[in-house]
Copies of this chain bind each other. A is one copy, B any other.
Amino acid sequence: MNKEITPCRDLLERNGYRFTAQKQRILEEILIANTHLSVKEIYERVKEKHIGIATVYRNLKCFETLGIVKEINENGMRYYEKRIYSGQPLHIHFKCFICNCIIDIDDYTSDLEYLKINRKIEENSQLEIHDANIMLIGICPKCREDKEKCQGQPNIDV
């Protein structure tokens, strides 16, 4: 069993949740994937064991409440990824506006810079900032290559 599961189990039980086979199964997939998964992707990976989609939704919401996973909203879809408890406290995503792919950006230095800004915003406002969702938008390397050939882009020039 994935050793990352034990602290999750503790967290669940300490909050009065039961650590069911379904919870374990769903959690395992998220931990193994180590990237964002859509609800559908998670369901596809666990449904063979008679786990219903409602259970997937219910447990994802539970995991989110406890901070075990993080929800990413993009294009009307929900993605989930594990939240890292120590070390890297935020996770930057990049979305290509041509092919709509989502790429994880793992740049520790940039993460730290972002956090510094957040601290500053916190000081200047009455807000208490716990987390940040950062989605950069642009063109991925693959689509960039194809750009020369393709003339399908809108005529933007304000």
**Which A residues are closer than 8 A to B by beta carbons?**
7, 11, 14-15, 65-67, 73-76, 78, 85, 92, 94, 97, 103, 105, 107, 109-110, 113-114, 117-118, 120-121, 124-141, 144, 154-156, 158
Contacts and interface: CB of A to CB of B under 8 A. Distances in A.
Contacts of A103: 127
Given A76-B73, A107-B121, A125-B105, A7 B133 contact: no
10 contacts: A14-B155, A65-B154, A73-B74, A110-B121, A126-B141, A128-B138, A130-B139, A131-B136, A132-B135, A133-B135
A110 B97 CA distance: 25
Interface of A: prevailing SS: mixed
B144 A137 contact: no
A90 B18 CA distance: 43
Copies of this chain in its oligomeric complex: 2
A73 to B, nearest CB: 4
B130 A118 contact: no
B114 A127 contact: no
A156 B10 CA distance: 10
B66 A154 contact: yes
